[in-house]
Amino acid sequence: MSSARTPASTPALASAQTLAASNRVCHANESAEYRGARNALLAEEIELRRHIERVAAQRRALPAGGEVGQDFEFVSETGPIRFSSLFGDKETLLIYSMMFGPERKGPCPMCTSFLTSWNGAAVNLRERVAIAVTARSPIARLVEYKRERGLSNLPFVSDLSGAYTREYVTPEDGDVPGFSVFTRRDGVIRHFYSGEMSGEMADPGQDPRGAPDLDPLWLLLDFTPEGRGADWYPKLHYGSK
């Protein structure tokens, strides 16, 4: 049963257009045309905020997921570690599986972009939940990558056997990214959520991605007049001009 309040106890919300019309912001030398368009956009932003809240509530209300069938073994920076130990003293575990398989010459730039942002958020995030990053490369390679990129706040584990990857990322054991959330309640570990938007679900002309984006890089670019662009992607290194 959902924990959301019943309609009778939920106060009616003012329309987004009504709230936008109450906006008193006015910037120097702007035209009436700009202000009209900006307030119309503000109404859409209010609707987007509400939709994000609805989606988050629907996600939290998901029924209990499947029980994790085995205590996967990984290799941590200090030695072998079981999946259950990744929780530490927390009840929820977030795992990002990055594209950095043993046959790959270098780490994925897109995964690196996301992990760079997650590394900063981890200082606060790990107060609420446990986090881990996994890949199929040997742990020595992951530790070197972590050192080179300054990802000191993220614990890395190697999925050498591929058992976890095949179960929760890709059955084909492919070099693809994955994001999953697990819970531990009364000693029972269950799968709670995984990103499931595939490339086939992308709209025409759209770069495949989930919603919301895990990497704030793209969210910030959405605020700019240039937007995300059609052919720009993060790199591991940028040459000086």
The answer to whether 175 and 104 are in contact (CB under 8 A) is yes
Residues 174, 93 share a domain: yes
Residues 122, 54 share a domain: no
- Tell me the C-alpha distance between 2 and 72, whole Å: 31
pLDDT at 241 over 80: no
pLDDT for residue 9? 65
Q: Which of 7-16, 152-161, 188-197, 225-234 has the lowest mean pLDDT?
A: 7-16
Residues 83, 161 share a domain: yes
Note the pTM of the prediction, 2 decimals: 0.89
Domain count across the chain? 2
Residue 155 domain flag = yes
Closest CA to 96 of 69, 68, 129: 129
Closest CA to 35 of 25, 43, 47: 25
Closest CA to 179 of 112, 108, 114, 95: 95
Residue 162 domain flag = yes
- Tell me the C-alpha distance between 136 and 205, whole Å: 31
The DSSP-derived string for 27-80 is: -TT--HHHHHHHHHHHHHHHHHHHHHHHHHHHHHTPPP-PBP-S--EEEETTEE
pLDDT at 8 over 60: no
Residues 116, 40 share a domain: no
Residues 132, 46 share a domain: no
Residues 116, 49 share a domain: no
Write out the residue range of the structural domain in which residue 178 sits.
73-194
pLDDT for residue 83? 98
pLDDT at 7 over 60: no
pLDDT for residue 85? 98
- Between CA 92 and CA 100, with CA 97 as vertex, the angle to 5 degrees is 155
